[in-house]
Structure 1
Amino acid sequence: MSSSTRVPAAGSAAPGSWTPVGKNGAPARLAGAPRQRRVPYLLVGILLVLGCAAAGVVVALRLGHRVPVLELARPVSVGQALTGRDVREVDVSAGTGLAVIPARSLVTVIGRPVAYSLPAGTLLTRQVLGAAQVPPAGQAVAAVGLKAGQVPSGLQPGNHVTVVVEPDGNAVSGKSSSPPLLSWDAVVTDVKADATDQTTVVSMQMAVEDARQLAAVPAGQVDLVETSGGGQ
């Protein structure tokens, strides 16, 4: 008898091989077969990275954004009308939180009086312009005439000073008992030198009672000591 060789039908499994079958009769998925779901997750990750990078760029641009505003180029006295030489343009961070006057509003500032005596470098705001606001309640302005050596060089409105009363000359010679040393804190509001530059008249804002005591001190017994502190 001649032997015959069977050829497996198309689509049938080869002899000796088997295909796992699920409960419903369909071929079961092998445990080691890779799932085709990684590509969407990869795309989502890329989009998140790009979004974070864009947000970082926006924040950096905002933090670095600067705007031109106006500041005092030199000290001014209370009531003084501003001129073009009194102000200058500077760039500040947009997030300062101050109601500063933009540089484009320069024409609205020229000719306006300042409400306070202010040092150079003060950023201009609407609050510092207008009618004089000194002295406020509980404060007074006292003026003293000082010689060279009694007033610091370069003293300007807005500087903080300590007013010191020198001992009486009679007390030094022993003719009377030495009174306690008097001193008061004040803010300079105006500085003017006379025509001969021999005397400098300094106006200062200070507590009402301190101003009254200063007014009673004889001429020539007052010294000023400049202290730390900004303008008003």
Structure 2
Amino acid sequence: MALAHPVAVGHELRARDLREVSITADSGLPALSARSRSRVEGRPVAYSLPEGALLTEAVVGEARVPPPGAAIVAVGLKAGQFPPGLQPGNRVTVVMTSRESGSTSSTAESSTSWSATVTAVETPPNEQTTVASLQMDTDAARQLATAREGEVTVVIVNGVRK
């Protein structure tokens, strides 16, 4: 069985969420068979998953997001603060730039960056702000949550998250 459309973590599976797909028996994939449909319906998914994702025992059950030591933080982003193709699953670098005013007329600028994985991206209708949910280290998420409007930029990166 596979998903007929994307689902968010915690979504309870219903018949309309599932579709039967064919895979070879010797593929080695631990996919649940169509005979498991009654056992799967009514159970939540442990992760947010895209359309077409094969269902396995590992993805059905209580939420497993975020994992221990990680947190999910939401950031409001305007055009120019993130690439237009930003989507769940992207590995990103989050850069927070803050301006600190000193006793003189000059302003000092400092930045901090962290690695994260995008878990959701939503732009409500008629809104100019896009909300990106980012999974990252718990301490980093706490720091990022203190960012003021306009201080955060998200950069899509390739490779393994460090």
Same fold (TM over 0.5): yes
Superposed displacement of residue 217, structure 1: 1.7
Asked if 2 retains the 8 angstrom alpha-carbon contact of 1:76 and 1:118, the reply is yes
CA–CA distance in structure 1, aligned partners of residues 96 and 30 of structure 2 = 41
CA–CA distance in structure 2, aligned partners of residues 191 and 197 of structure 1 = 13
Asked if 2 retains the 8 angstrom alpha-carbon contact of 1:82 and 1:109, the reply is yes
Q: Runs of 5+ in structure 2 lacking a partner?
A: none
Equivalent residues, number: 158
CA shift digits 1:19-41 (9 cap, x unpaired): xxxxxxxxxxxxxxxxxxxxxxx
CA–CA distance in structure 2, aligned partners of residues 123 and 131 of structure 1 = 17
* 2:30 corresponds to: 99
Of the two structures, which has the highest relative contact order with CA contacts closer than 8 Å and spacing of 6 or more? 2
* 2:109 corresponds to: 178
TM-score, length-normalised on structure 1?
0.57
Letter aligned with residue 104 of structure 1: R
Comparing both structures, which one devotes a greater share of its residues to strand? 2
CA–CA distance in structure 1, aligned partners of residues 70 and 47 of structure 2 = 13
Distance 1:218 1:97, change over 3 A: same
* 1:215 corresponds to: 145
Asked if 1 retains the 8 angstrom alpha-carbon contact of 2:100 and 2:109, the reply is no
2:136 aligned counterpart, secondary structure: strand
TM-score, length-normalised on structure 2?
0.77
1:212 aligned counterpart, secondary structure: helix
Asked if 1:198 corresponds to 2:90, the answer is no
Superposed displacement of residue 228, structure 1: 4.0
Distance 1:199 1:89, change over 3 A: same
* 1:138 corresponds to: 69
CA–CA distance in structure 2, aligned partners of residues 208 and 145 of structure 1 = 18
2:61 aligned counterpart, secondary structure: coil
Superposed displacement of residue 154, structure 1: 4.9
CA–CA distance in structure 2, aligned partners of residues 116 and 155 of structure 1 = 19
Comparing both structures, which one devotes a greater share of its residues to helix? 1
Larger radius of gyration: 1
CA–CA distance in structure 1, aligned partners of residues 17 and 81 of structure 2 = 28
Superposed displacement of residue 81, structure 1: 2.2
* 1:187 corresponds to: 117
CA RMSD between the two structures: 2.9
CA–CA distance in structure 2, aligned partners of residues 94 and 170 of structure 1 = 65
